[in-house]
Amino acid sequence: MINISGTYQLAGGAEAYPASAMLYETGQLVIQQKTSDEKLIESWPDEYIYGTVIPGLPVDIIFPDGALFIPDDSSFRWPAMSNKHRLAEWLESHWLTVLASIVIVPLFLWGMVNYALPAASHAAVAFIPDSVAESMGEQTLYILDKTHFDPSELSKQQQDEVTEQWQNIITKLELPESKYKLHFRKFGMGANAMALPDGSIIVTDDIVTLMEQDPNALTAVLLHEIGHIEHKHSLKLVAQTTATTMLFAMMFGDIEGAGELILGAGTGLLQSAFSRDMEREADEFSHQNLPKFNISPAAFADAMTLLVNSHVSDHSDLDSDSNTSDAVDEIENSLNHWLQYLSTHPDTQERIDTARNIEGH
């Protein structure tokens, strides 16, 4: 029980008495006039409400009949007051903090989006069941087939040679054959290879033709794609995009929009490109595994050089493709994870140099 000294003010008038308020743990509040006979003035279970919190002023109790109890101690705060009251008061008396939060909130968001969420979603990826990755992969390939791919026009012999090369890689690296699948597709945007979260790797007709005379380069490319799958890069991207969407939805209240985005997570995959760190990890996977096939890591540099050169000639087409929608552009940008760092981009040269500088084992 808390006993507080204060003033009891009658409803609708200026009449007031010195009084004490006894607040019981049950929420029962008893007001007694401070006279020799301790006359009972009010006794309420919990229908009273707290007055407005203003820093430096006491917090009144307002009774249903309009009477007030005003504590003598202006700093006294009723223990049952909601945290919301207290936070509001705290903020009002800490305007500097409020000002700082205007800076801190964007910083917090930035930190969440760039560090906390990637880290959390990367950790969460370990718990995503294979079936989710499988359906995401199938969904993505289905959309790509509808929007960007045509059936391969490679000869059976060309396909057989690459399939044999692929089979050799899967066997040597002891990767599960049920998971890793190679797909041939014709793709209007030239030489390319890409990895889907379920373990599907797609090679375009152009990349097969481009590397026909240099199978080691194609091995380097396939290893890079396997690297993306082994590191679960696509799943990480999807988890990260979903978590970011959720964060913003929670902060700004657009949960419905978030629901739609999460349902479309598979297609969201098509719109987000791998980060530079992911590309570097996939590159390293390729560099580290090439020697197992008695191929120098320099084959990776050869592959990149071939790819860059093959695209320099039709690079102008990529830029002048302005009649396509932004969404299609975005999909094409992320598909071109080999090409988003075209020769003008310093990263490409860096990646080529890195591969060339590795001592062959």
Residues at the contact surface with Zn ion, assessed by CB under 5 A? 279, 282, 337
Smallest gap from Cβ 280 to Zn ion, in A, equals 9
Rounded to 5°, the CA angle 26-31-35 comes to 145
The continuous run of DSSP H or E covering 2 comes out as strand 2-9
Radius of gyration of the chain (CA): 34
- Residues in the chain, overall count: 361
Instruction: Collect all residues with Cβ–Cβ distance below 8 Å to 326 and sequence separation of at least 6.
Output: none
Q: 53 or 226, CB closer to Zn ion?
A: 226
Smallest gap from Cβ 223 to Zn ion, in A, equals 11
Smallest gap from Cβ 338 to Zn ion, in A, equals 7
Smallest gap from Cβ 234 to Zn ion, in A, equals 11
Residue nearest to Zn ion (CB): 337
Q: 70 or 226, CB closer to Zn ion?
A: 226
Query: Burial code of 219-253, b = ≥16 C-beta within 10 A, e = fewer?
Result: bbbbbbbbbbbbbbbbbbbbbbbbbbbbbbbeeee
Widest CA span of the chain, in angstroms?
110
Contact 226, 196 (CB under 8 A): no
Q: 20 or 234, CB closer to Zn ion?
A: 234
Smallest gap from Cβ 134 to Zn ion, in A, equals 21
Q: 19 or 304, CB closer to Zn ion?
A: 304
Q: 42 or 279, CB closer to Zn ion?
A: 279
**SS3 category, 208:** helix
- 8 has which bridge partners? 17, 69
Phi, psi angles (nearest 5°) of residue 358 = -80, 130
Smallest gap from Cβ 167 to Zn ion, in A, equals 22
Q: 185 or 337, CB closer to Zn ion?
A: 337
